[in-house]
Amino acid sequence: MKRVFRAGVMGVVAAVALSGSALAADYPTKPIEMIVAFAPGGGTDVAARSIASFMEKHLGGGARIAVINKPGAGGEIGWTAVAQAKPDGYTIGFINVPAINALVVEGKAKFKMDDFQPIANLVYDPGVLVVGKNSPYQSVKDLVEAAKAKPGSIAIGTSGAVGSSEHITILNFERLADVKLTHAPFGGTAPVRQAVLGGHIPAATMNLSEALQLSREGEIRVIGVMSEGRSDYLKDAPTFREQGYDVVAGSSRGIAAPKGIPADIVAKLEAAVDKALNDPEYLEAAKKAEIPLHYLASGDYKAFLEKSTADLEATWKVSPWR
């Protein structure tokens, strides 16, 4: 009886394994939802919509990917939707580091970082500090001097919420420059850009890709780039380091799925991203959209997420943000 029972169990296991492989072989058989945790028009939305059609192409079989925006709560709403989705490969989403890790470290998230299966990282987009075209601030030093003269009087707008990557960057900048600034969260790139354009706030942080067009049109001025060297996309904009402030920060954007997704489907999605990022047509489209590509395969992306979370946990212990 034991042998029959074991044989029966092994048969069931084999059948399940074969069934999973068959599902992966046929995948996808229906549209895939790609969730973006921010409003349309921002850097994450642009990255998602630009890659989706090329992933469709390289998944083959008439694959369809629908980009779904679920903004709110600094990304928490959209990321929760990804984490809690059925792990069948038909719900994936963009996640943003360090914003997503910060929510987890703060204890505000309804998910943990290990609730996600990393697929691939696509983008690393450095942060920038911008002011309106009529602003009296021509440099980071000008803004620092004004802030020191009237502590707390200068509001810095961000596209996120408390604990977002931009907010954490502001806190770090305050420490390095020995100033007191006021954080003004707007919850999205479009509203914070409008606030700067309308002169409602004196300055704002966002990602470089989100500031390029308005900067080139002369509507805003980038007074500091948070990268190690000047960006090829905006060579005239100085870095923070050039101006005496060791601020290097940005946003990583990649694709993840709910934990538990079959390994064969992870491999298919990862391969589709890899092929897309080597597709000359996509590379040309990304160049035109000025998307700062930075590819990490699933395993490397997982290691990057783990290190980023550990670093934020260490920072939180020393100087928690609120």
Mean pLDDT of 28-52: 94
Beta bridge partners, 256, equal: 93, 118
> What secondary structure, in 3-state letters, does the chain show?
CHHHHHHHHHHHHHHHHHHHHHHHHHCCCCCEEEEECCCCCCHHHHHHHHHHHHHHHHHCCCCCEEEEECCCHHHHHHHHHHHCCCCCCCEEEEEEECHHHHHHHHCCCCCCHHHEEEEEEEEEEEEEEEEECCCCCCCHHHHHHHHHHCCCCCEEEECCCCCCHHHHHHHHHHHHHCCCCEEEECCCHHHHHHHHHCCCCCEEEEEHHHHHHHHHCCCEEEEEECCCCCCCCCCCCCECHHHCCCCCCEEEEEEEEECCCCHHHHHHHHHHHHHHCCCHHHHHHHHHHCCCEEEECHHHHHHHHHHHHHHHHHHHHHCCCC
| 2-124+250-318 and 125-225 share one fold | yes
Q: Would the pLDDT of 189 be above 80?
A: yes
CATH number for the domain running over 2-124+250-318: 3.40.190.150
The CA distance from 268 to 48, in Å, is: 18
Average of per-residue pLDDT across 156-175: 84
**Number of C-beta neighbours around residue 234 at 10 A:** 18
Contact 208, 127 (CB under 8 A): yes
Strand partners, 126: 250
Does residue 290 carry a pLDDT above 60? yes
Where b means 16+ CB within 10 Å and e means fewer, 184-210 reads bbbbbbbebbebbeeebbbbbbbbbbb
28 Cβ neighbours under 8 A, 6+ residues apart: 59, 61, 63, 64, 89, 90
Q: Indicate if the pLDDT at residue 11 is higher than 80.
A: no
What's the average model confidence in pLDDT over 19-35? 81
The rounded distance, in Å, linking the Cα atoms of 289 and 286 is: 5
pLDDT at 260 over 70: yes
CATH of 125-225, one of 3.40.50.970, 1.20.58.710, 3.40.50.1220, 3.40.190.10: 3.40.190.10
Tokens linked to 307: 């290190």
Domain boundaries defined on the chain = 2-124+250-318, 125-225
* Tens digit of each residue's pLDDT (9 = 90 or more) over 87-143: 999 999 999 998 899 899 989 899 999 999 999 999 988 999 999 999 999 999 999
Per-residue pLDDT, 292: 87
From residue 39, alpha-carbon distances to 20, 55, 66, 306 in Å are 35, 21, 15, 27
Query: Average per-residue pLDDT in the chain?
Result: 89
Quick: pLDDT tens for 43-81.
899 899 999 999 999 999 899 999 999 999 889 999 999
Please give the residue that has the higher pLDDT: either 114 or 22.
114
Per-residue pLDDT at 201 exceeds 90:
yes
Task: Specify the higher pLDDT residue, 5 or 51.
Answer: 51
Residue 262 has pLDDT above 60, yes or no: yes
